[in-house]
Homo-oligomer: A and B are copies of this chain.
Amino acid sequence: MDNQYSCSSRKAVVVYSGGMDSFTVLHHVRALGYNAAAISFNYGQRHSRELECAAKVSAGLGIEHKIVDLSSIAGIFGDSALTSTGTDVPEGNYGTENMKQTVVPNRNMVMLSLAVSYALSKKADVVFYGAHAGDHVLYPDCRPEFVEAINGVTRLCDWQPVKVEAPWLHASKADILRRGLAMELDYSDTWTCYNGRKHSCGRCSACLERLQAFAANQACDPLIYEDQAPI
């Protein structure tokens, strides 16, 4: 447990998508003793499976959970495979050129801005989000320099400064899962697949990365897959 995040019943806001990284952040923050509230965003995603997981887990933990509906302004982000139903979700590993379709321009700045507003309204002085090292190549708003720059703003945007913490910034997805498994977390109520069908597809890059993380930890993913690709 990192001492830098130690606290005693301080309030924190966690950006919680319902995926496994932010699910682990949420539990990590609670384990540190924070009084955590969760915030999720509906920005016109193809499906609501992640948000349903976030709502279920938050209710189970008895924590406040705000879902911010940005769907009416999804058009502002331009076209992205994650927000447009007219584009097929690309398959294969991250890092291939077609995965750039999944980048929603400036998504993290928008979400963190709103999370900071929420934190200010709740008198919380820290916002956590789940950017991790595997995101850096594809997502400019998950890089360490972005997190540092955001903190430059959130120090100044109100008379009360707010800190933005990304505890997994230098961790891989396998590292994050290792932390979660050490906390004995159950990943049944997390959703990763870019598709929103009954079961995870097992073929999109998100599924492949998740399956690789479980394999690296010699652990079994509790989710059912349509087609569990060899890894």
Asked whether A218 is an interface residue with its Cβ less than 8 Å from the other chain, the reply is: no
| B residues less than 8 Å from A1 (CB atoms) | none
Tell me how many chains of this kind the complex includes.
2
Q: Which of A148-156, A173-181, A184-192, A199-207 forms contacts with chain B?
A: A148-156
Please classify how large the interface on chain A is, using the bins under 10, 10 to 19, 20 to 34, 35 or more: 35 or more
Q: Which of A20-28, A44-52, A85-93, A114-122 forms contacts with chain B?
A: A114-122
* Inter-subunit contact A157/B76 (CB<8 Å): no
- Which of B72, B113, B140, B145 is within 8 Å of A159, CB to CB? B140
Closest CB-CB distance, A226 to chain B, in whole Å? 33
Asked whether A210 is an interface residue with its Cβ less than 8 Å from the other chain, the reply is: no
* Inter-subunit contact B76/A69 (CB<8 Å): no
CA distance A108 to B120 in the complex (A): 14
* Inter-subunit contact A117/B105 (CB<8 Å): yes
Closest CB-CB distance, A151 to chain B, in whole Å? 9
CA distance A158 to B152 in the complex (A): 17
CA distance A218 to B139 in the complex (A): 52
CA distance A22 to B223 in the complex (A): 51
* Inter-subunit contact A120/B140 (CB<8 Å): no
Asked whether A141 is an interface residue with its Cβ less than 8 Å from the other chain, the reply is: yes
Q: When A76-B118, A105-B120 are in contact, do A146 and B157 touch as well, CB less than 8 Å?
A: yes
CA distance A72 to B42 in the complex (A): 12
Given contact pairs A106-B120, A141-B157, enumerate 4 new A-B contacts (beta carbons under 8 Å).
A72-B72, A77-B117, A140-B158, A149-B152
- Which of B116, B117, B145 is within 8 Å of A156, CB to CB? B145
| Nearest residue, chain B, Cβ from A106 | B117
25 pairs, A vs B, C-beta closer than 8 Å: A66-B76, A69-B72, A69-B73, A72-B72, A73-B114, A76-B114, A76-B117, A76-B121, A77-B117, A77-B121, A78-B117, A78-B121, A105-B116, A106-B158, A107-B117, A108-B157, A109-B157, A110-B110, A110-B113, A110-B114, A110-B117, A140-B158, A141-B158, A143-B156, A149-B152
